Structure 1
Amino acid sequence: MSLLRKKRIFYLLLSFAAVLGLFALRIAWIQTTSAFRAVTVGGKTINELAVRQREESIELDPGRGHIFDRNGKALTGEIAWTPILFPVRRLPEDSQLTALATVLKTTVPELRSTWERLERPYVWPKPGGESGQPLRLDEATAHTLPRIEGLEVLPYMARYGPGDRGNQWLGFVTQRPDVIRKLREHKHQPDYAMTLQVGAAGLEKTLDGFLRGLGGVRAAYTVDGRKDPLGGMGTRVNANTSRYYPLQIQTTIDDVLQQKLERLAVKLNVTEGAVVVLDVKTADIVSMVSLPFYDPHHVDPALENWGNKAVKAFAPGSIFKTVIAAAALEEHVTAPGEVFHCNGQYGKYGLSCWKEGGHGNLTLEEGFAKSCNVVFATLGERLNADVIARTAAKLGIGRSIGWRDPAFLGGDVLRPLDQEEAGALFSNPAAVDGGVLAQTAIGQRDVLVSPLQAANLVVTLLHGGQVKAPRLVREIRYKDGSLLSDLPVQASPSSAGQIHPQTANRLLSWMRLVVTDGTGRTLQQAKWPLAGKSGTAEVLKNNEQRNNQWFIGYGPVDRPQYAVAVLVQNRPKGSKHLAAELFRRTMDVLASQG
């Protein structure tokens, strides 16, 4: 059933409100005219005020705006027919609960025990321990449930789909009384309930001001003061309706691709890292996977899985040689064709080449393709900290690059990307010496780069040195589909300027050489002709030496469509370069999509 059809079914329930309102008026008249009349119940005389009606209500839809992928697929808000139990005094006999217990996938004793303890309406959960997930019934099954007082099967809105995901950029919602108190301080804000769930991370947080609605949909079950259902009242649905709200957010993400890449990472046993796919024309984020995955229904702040590693900065290893090569060419401290000699040892600072025995004589281009540490340590010492930092900034490294608007719609700064880190180059620029420069040149020491920056570096080269601002959100629309605002493609220029197109083109050709003659030759098996740069960074985890593996690149070479960055964290030293394989397999998925 389509989302649109489900919503139509959902709001059909509102048509009953007028009819139910007549019953409510009748009950109100009875209470008003005979509120203090003594009545006999069960042989005892009591005051009718003791049995006056009250409503046990539950929120079916909080009225929060929804988020969609680039193709209109809903990323939030799944409606399903869900059994809901309301607190009532008298429960049915076990014989009547048998059929219900079967559908609810529980036992009669467990069902009875749960129902008897209820103090408020209860959404029956999906079995199997998936936190926050309601039991979802198809319409045919929903109609087979027995008619029992206190049981209703209603269209219930779950914010997120089932299962753990690697789309931490979406974020999650939670109750934040501190945020609500601040909102209440502003007179123009609605009187939000303290229990209102607000965005705590990702797009849910950065766009919370647009996603908060005008009120949701509630179902009320009318009982008297002793929790006995009032005959004829049934369930009443109340909703705040508006033509314009809640708003709709359209992202740049292709969720079909996103899920394919999440499954691919799991298949390859990648447990830590990230994959970023950018559209090379716009720098739009087509997919952004973070590992380990998270469950948006149940987030433990003490864990790190809810953080988006795609925008966190890590030691880049040899992919940073792309920046050093650009700086050396731009500053004319080397030239294509220069010959270097690598015997495996740099001869100082304790540096060595990754290849035991060295590469022998090799040109600058070959040094890039074979990722020779000796070549790049040499280039690093020919440069200085200022030149390296300036070139990095020109390429979108060492600074925030995500799409932003300093006064969106005349308001505050809008930055849809949550948790984005700028990265780092030198922790103490004043204390840079030859050893620091040599280590920096091979992507170690203090250098930190995010997978998003790494993928965008490739886009920058494909645009002749112009840095684009990766975009996660395309449009914000009203409920009726009319446009509130679009978020146009934009550049992210540096005050230092940009590298020359000739330098960018040369680096792109060297990336192709990496695949044909260098460290990326396994990529020749890919469906598309590819180009890229590998990297391995030494890191410590729990006082144990590990490697962060990287691969960045683009494809197809003859008509570039996508730039991809892959980070696989904390791999054992000497293990297979899993990042290169995940890069190739990611590109194969993209090639299959056309």
Structure 2
Amino acid sequence: MWKRRTLGLLFIGIVCFMLLLARLMQIQLFKTEAFSKHNVNLLEESVKQRTQELVIDNGRGNFLDRSGDPLTHKKATVLVLFPFLKKMDWDVESVAEITRIPKDSLLTSIETAKKPFAYGEPDPVELSSFQMDRINGLKIPGVFAVEKKFERTEVPAEQLLGLTGENAEELKKRYPDKELSEKTLIGVSGLEESFDEFLLPEGKSKLVYHVDGGGAPLFGINVKYVDPANPFYPVNIRTTIDKTLQQRAENLVDQYQIRKGGLVLLDLQDNSVLALVSRPAINKKAPYDGIGISNQMVKQQIVGSVFKTVVAAAAIEQNLDNPNRLYNCSKKINGKPELKYDYGMLNITESFARSCNRTFGELAKELQKMNLNALEQTASKLSLIDSVGWQGDIYHTSDFKQLPDEDKGRVFISDEARHDANFAAMSGIGQHEVRATPLAVANMMATIARGGQKEMVSVVSKIEYKNGTTMADFSKKNLKGDIISPYTAMKLQKLLREVVLNPNGTGRWFKELPYEVAGKSGTAETGKFLNGKQLHNKWFAGYFPYKQPKYALVTVNLDVPDNEGGVNLLFADMVKMLYEENN
């Protein structure tokens, strides 16, 4: 009996020992970098307990402007000091002489430090390459001059580029087959989100030293430089943004106190975004609260009279643009007297220049009788209601979208509205259910300027490896679907130019600009009220120079009273700025 009991206890002991051994093997051999469901890196955590470190680069990919200048960060050569210096004698006089930082300031900063730091953070003192070489030549343990990556506090085109954050659950959902630390940053909006898979870090670059329980150095005072040492990663996303133009555009938008709205500037040569400003800005203290995180330039808005461009195009294609036909612009679209905008009898060219609602309400109803889908089909031909952001197959990804959060536009929601003559008239002036994004409006102007050819809009030109070679190119692509005829495009170009040339045109303010402008204004009722006042969306959309187009530009101020605007002045100043840049 006692033998069986002893054998039983021995068996249980062996089983427990084997389970413990298996657990130890799991922890120390097999799951060292992704332990438990939280993917804890045990090696990193064990090292953290006995080391102090300064992260030089978090390893996530970077965004550059079209010239290769960093947008979301800057790299600066800085003086790095380690806190163990307070416990040793070191040549502070030489460091002070080389860096031109007072000796007492250096000693004071170290005395209060508990971890390694770049001197002067968050606004560190930048060193030259000559100073860096001299500092490192001193070979003082705990004193280094290194190039460190700093995140910018003010990021240009911040809604377009987007935000990052830590979210362990979302990380696992996106990348179930990757072993990533829970602390890995992921993109949560904008290009940070759409390009997230390319931007994931391979590891951090950092300076590390070992400490005892009191923070004193272990194993002497050797500091190690830790780097993933991958010549290809992290990658750089080269955007089409011109950083200088972007910053100047943002200053102008704020100068004209556009609280909700912004602008889109396209380069017609490759149909890329040169500058994009969205307001309100992101709230730095609570970035996910409110609408600041949303890029208003890719969200559908009520476009108002800008949509008359579509009606004019449809009328031209259906031979309804008889120049001798006159419209009674002393009446509203419902037939009642027009007291505010009493223009008398106008032909289609005058009506477009002065933005007569009656003309385009009647034309929309006539087009509806001829073809229920005429307005929608023409809006699509002009790239107004479809997605216009670049999409296609890239690298190992099919149907990749640069702007996945881009809204589509629309003319009608319901078939009932499509059949109703009154709704057709309201749609003809860009009201009722008509919606489009400012980006699509800019692309419509670009399409007309090119003679009808409609192209995708790109905000990224290529993905580059760390060593500067190209991983993937985003080549210029046409949008699918029917297009307007060159004849229609030519007539639209003349109509848009007449808006500026006509002494009573809604764009007459732009006649004296250094570039010849063609475009269309819009004032849309939003159905919202503030202090009893109807709120409007104010637009001006156009392209320039008229004869040899280089740019398409949209300026928009959303949800403002009728007496507020700013879009004309903003448009004009952008044109002047671009002229000065090129001359």
Shorter-chain TM band: 0.7 to 0.9
In the alignment, is the contact (CA less than 8 A) between 1:166 and 1:294 conserved in 2? Answer: no
SS in 2 for 1:185: coil
Change over 3 Å in CA distance of 1:347–1:294 after alignment to 2: closer
Q: Which residue of 1 aligns with 2:260?
A: 272
The residue number in structure 2 matching 1:376 is 360
Q: Distance in 2 between matches of 1:276 and 1:53?
A: 50
Asked if 1 retains the 8 angstrom alpha-carbon contact of 2:62 and 2:234, the reply is yes
> Which of residues 342, 356, 364 is equivalent to 2:348?
364
Change in 2 beyond 3 A, CA 1:112/1:232 = closer
Letter in structure 2 aligned against 1:237: Y
Q: What residue is the counterpart of 2:18 in the other structure?
A: none
Return the offset for 1:529.
1.4
Deviation of the 1:323 alpha carbon: 0.7
Deviates more, 1:75-84 or 1:371-380: 75-84
Alpha-carbon shift at residue 318 of structure 1 (Å): 0.6
User: In the alignment, is the contact (CA less than 8 A) between 2:194 and 2:401 conserved in 1?
Assistant: yes
Separation of aligned partners in 1, 2:501 and 2:333: 26
Residue in structure 2 matching 1:64, options 50, 60, 63:
60
Following superposition, the deviation at residue 451 of structure 1 comes to: 0.9
2:362 maps to a residue whose letter is T
Give yes or no for contact 1:166–1:293 (8 Å, CA) kept in 2.
no
Per the TM alignment, residue 136 of structure 1 is displaced from its structure 2 partner at its CA by 4.5
Paired letter, 1:221? Y
1:194 deviates by 0.9
Which amino acid is 2:225 matched to? V
**Counterpart in the other structure of 1:48:** none
Distance 1:404 1:327 in 2: 28
Deviation, structure 1 residue 220: 1.1
User: What secondary structure does 1:506 align onto?
Assistant: helix
Take 2:363 and 2:581, find their aligned partners in 1: how far apart are those partners? 41
Map 1:120-131 to 2 at 5 A: 126=121
Instruction: Give the TM-score normalised by structure 2.
Output: 0.80
Separation of aligned partners in 1, 2:541 and 2:74:
36
For residue 169 of structure 1, what is the aligned residue in structure 2? 160
**Correspondence for 1:452:** 439
> 1:389 and 1:88 mapped to 2: Cα distance?
71
RMSD of the TM alignment (CA)? 3.5
2:478 to 478, 491, 497: 491
Cα distance between partner residues in 1 of 2:422 and 2:81: 69
Q: Counterpart of 1:342 in structure 2: which amino acid?
A: C
Provide the rounded CA distance (Å) in 2 between the counterparts of 1:333 and 1:289: 38
Cα pair 2:388 2:479 within 8 Å, conserved: yes
Q: 2:148 aligns with which of 142, 156, 160?
A: 156
Gaps of 5+ in 2: 1-47
On the 8 A contact 1:310/1:452 being kept in 2, the answer is yes
- C-alpha deviations, 1:132-170, integer Å up to 9, x for none? x554544599999xx9998877543123x2326444211
SS at match of 1:178: helix
Q: Which runs of 4+ in 1 moved over 4 A?
A: 81-92, 110-115, 120-126, 139-144, 147-154, 541-544
C-alpha distance after superposition, 1:105-156 (max 9, x if no partner): x999x979975xx6x7667785xxxxxx554544599999xx9998877543
Residues 325-354 of structure 1 show CA distances to partners (whole Å, capped at 9, x for unaligned) of 112222334433321112143345xx775x
**2:326 aligned residue:** 339
CA displacement, residues 432-464 of structure 1 (integer Å, 9 cap, x when unaligned): 412211111111111111111111001111222
Secondary structure at the residue paired with 2:537?
Answer: strand
Alpha carbons 2:555, 2:570 under 8 Å: kept: yes
Aligned: 1:395 with 2:382: yes
**Secondary structure of the residue that 1:476 maps to in structure 2?**
strand
- 2:515 corresponds to: 528
Indicate the residue corresponding to 2:72 in structure 1.
Answer: 76
- What is the deviation of 1:515? 0.3
TM-score where L is the length of structure 1? 0.78
| Cα 1:223/1:512, change in 2 over 3 Å | same
Deviation of 1:415 (Å): 1.0
Task: Please tell me the residue identity of whatever aligns with 2:389.
Answer: G
Structure 1 residue aligned with 2:540: 551
Q: Which residue matches 1:252?
A: 240
Q: Could you tell me whether the CA contact under 8 Å between 1:171 and 1:203 is conserved in 2? A: yes
Q: 2:469 aligns with which of 482, 495, 501?
A: 482
SS in 1 for 2:510: helix
2:195 to 183, 204, 207: 207
Q: Indicate whether 1:584 and 2:572 are aligned.
A: yes
| 2:215 corresponds to | 227
Question: What stretches of structure 1 of length at least 5 have no aligned partner?
Answer: 1-51, 127-132
Quote the offset at 1:360 in angstroms.
0.5
For residue 201 of structure 1, what is the amino acid of its counterpart?
Answer: S
Say whether residues 1:417 and 2:406 are aligned partners: no
Range with greater deviation from structure 2 (205-214 or 408-417) = 408-417
Q: List per-residue Cα deviations over 1:296-330 (Å, max 9, x = no partner).
A: x7652112212211111111111110011112222
- Counterpart CA distance in 1 for 2:492 and 2:174 is 50
Structure 1 distance, partners of 2:399, 2:54, is: 36
